[in-house]
Amino acid sequence: MIRNKSMRRASLVSAIVATGAMVLSTLPAQAATPGVTATEIKLGISSPLTGSAGLSYGKVPGAMKAYFNYINANGGVYGRKITLISRDDKYLPTAAATQTTNLILKDNVFALVGALGTATHSKAYKAAALAKNNVPDLFINTGFSGFTDQTKYPTTFMVLPTYAMEAKVIAKAIKDNFAGQASFLIAQDDEFGTDGVAGFKTAGHTFTLAPILYPQGSMTSARAEAALTGLSAVPGKPVVVLFGTTDVTATILKAAEKLALTTKFTWYAGSVGADANTLLALGVKPTTVNGVISASFMPDAKDLTDPYVKQFADINTKYNKGITFDNYVLAAMNSAMLTVQALRAAGKDLTRAGIMSAIEAKGSTFASAGLVPLGYSATSRIGYNGYWVSQLNEKGEGKPYGGKLVIYTTDSGAGAVEVSTFVRPTMPKNGIPTNS
């Protein structure tokens, strides 16, 4: 009896101890989700605020903060306010590595959002041990197809389509609209340009001459003039595809102005290098900008008839005072809206693994300003998977080429470029997502 009693006591004690241990072992795990408290979710972004890249991309963190402040003012995400900690990486790999590490180890953020640049982010990803720590790396601003490799970047979700996709869409547009004309490619000689070159090759497009490749930062006026002089000897009205950043597009277009060659060519600027506001600000004449063809996956920031654009422009006016609303601000606020939906889809018990699973499961249905579909799934970390072809006018507005909006979707590999009937989801009321 005594023996039974003592055994029972021992069983009871061990049961209590085991239950206690289980509770204790689960409690710290929940409480220990970095960057998440009952009232706050801390996110981080490492991007250029200073230096030449900071001139254009420096607006990104501010625009994201503005949208998050708008959400915070309207109740936050399940009652939690979003705090975005921004660190300046000057578009330098060393700074990106240290700043991203600071965000993880010092600022203790829950996730990263909107990191920018391939050379910078590929270093930062490894240096900050994002994969090892399972840190969600959300909606990065680079189209380098290498980031789709889930073995190397298991926590990364892209938002931009890949450069290879863009090249394939441009190749189709040239084939459909400028067959018979010579075509040339002037591209940045790095992963950006080479990804594009690979895309043209996959699409079966052959340029009349070998692509003119230049290292980043090396395209001077003299070099641009020499290149254009050489190409101008070709008869007809050749298509010149510019696959570089907007400042280089401006250098080349101004060289064409100087040589009186603006009407000699049909200009086709890639999405990265066709920000009309920047082109005009850098001194390209409105008459030159008029007619430049480009590819985009977002609506034009000047199109205030678009409900998403109008909503984001209103938020910008109220929460991002003094900042001009342009394509960079629009894209940044759109990424912020995707982030809020991802946080909501992950549920009230927010975990790092949970938010990544939520994007995989529901990300393709998130509301966004993008005019092309989102491609998130268990096997794909690519965001937008297509483009529409636009043409700039003198005011710098991007209008559908040929007067009709045609959406093309494709992949980064050998898949065909197809016309899509995609209709984007309706904007959440007042731009505040309520998904779950």
Could you say whether residue 190 binds other proteins (CB under 8 A)?
yes
Question: How many whole angstroms separate alpha carbon 172 and alpha carbon 161?
Answer: 16
Q: Could you tell me the smallest distance in angstroms from the CB atom of residue 25 to other proteins?
A: 18
Question: How many whole angstroms separate alpha carbon 80 and alpha carbon 83?
Answer: 9
Could you say whether residue 61 binds other proteins (CB under 8 A)?
yes
Answer yes or no: are the C-beta atoms of 312 and 325 closer than 8 Å.
Answer: yes
Q: Which residues ranging from 383 to 412 are in contact with other proteins (CB under 8 A)?
A: none
Q: Could you tell me the smallest distance in angstroms from the CB atom of residue 69 to other proteins?
A: 14
Q: Which residues ranging from 75 to 94 are in contact with other proteins (CB under 8 A)?
A: 86, 88, 91-94
Could you say whether residue 123 binds other proteins (CB under 8 A)?
yes
Could you say whether residue 236 binds other proteins (CB under 8 A)?
no
Residue from 46, 56, 120, 148 in contact with other proteins (CB under 8 A): 120
Answer yes or no: are the C-beta atoms of 187 and 161 closer than 8 Å.
Answer: no
Instruction: Catalogue the long-range contacts made by 340-346 (C-beta closer than 8 Å, 24 or more residues apart).
Output: 340/67, 340/68, 340/71, 340/77, 340/82, 340/433, 341/366, 341/367, 341/433, 341/435, 342/138, 342/366, 343/41, 343/77, 343/82, 344/77, 344/78, 344/433, 344/434, 344/435, 344/436, 345/435, 345/436
Residue from 68, 144, 207, 387 in contact with other proteins (CB under 8 A): 144
- Is the CB of 88 or the CB of 137 nearer to other proteins? 88
Which DSSP helix (H) or strand (E) runs through 369? none
Residue from 122, 327, 335, 390 in contact with other proteins (CB under 8 A): 122
Q: Could you tell me the smallest distance in angstroms from the CB atom of residue 220 to other proteins?
A: 13
Could you say whether residue 189 binds other proteins (CB under 8 A)?
yes
Could you say whether residue 129 binds other proteins (CB under 8 A)?
yes
Q: Could you tell me the smallest distance in angstroms from the CB atom of residue 216 to other proteins?
A: 6
Q: Could you tell me the smallest distance in angstroms from the CB atom of residue 150 to other proteins?
A: 17
Residue from 75, 215, 307, 413 in contact with other proteins (CB under 8 A): 215
Could you say whether residue 230 binds other proteins (CB under 8 A)?
no
Nearest CA among 115, 122, 126, 196 for reference residue 159: 115
Could you say whether residue 248 binds other proteins (CB under 8 A)?
no
- Structural Rg of the chain based on CA atoms: 25
Answer yes or no: are the C-beta atoms of 340 and 358 closer than 8 Å.
Answer: no
Angle of helix 352-362 relative to helix 327-345, nearest 10 degrees? Answer: 110
Residue from 41, 43, 45, 49 in contact with other proteins (CB under 8 A): 49
Q: Which stretch binds other proteins (CB under 8 A): 6-14, 215-223, 230-238, 292-300?
A: 215-223
Could you say whether residue 106 binds other proteins (CB under 8 A)?
yes
The end-to-end CA distance of the chain, in Å, is 56
The runs of H, that is alpha helices, within 273-364 are 276-281, 286-289, 307-319, 327-345, 352-362
Contact code string over 299-338 relative to other proteins, x by CB under 8 A: ----------------------------------------
Q: Exposed (0-12), middle (13-18) or buried (19+): which is 323, by Cβ within 10 Å?
A: middle
Beta bridge partners of 84: 43
Residues interacting with other proteins, by CB under 8 A? 49-50, 61-62, 86, 88, 91-94, 96-98, 101-102, 105-106, 118-120, 122-124, 126-127, 129, 132, 144, 146, 188-192, 194, 215-218
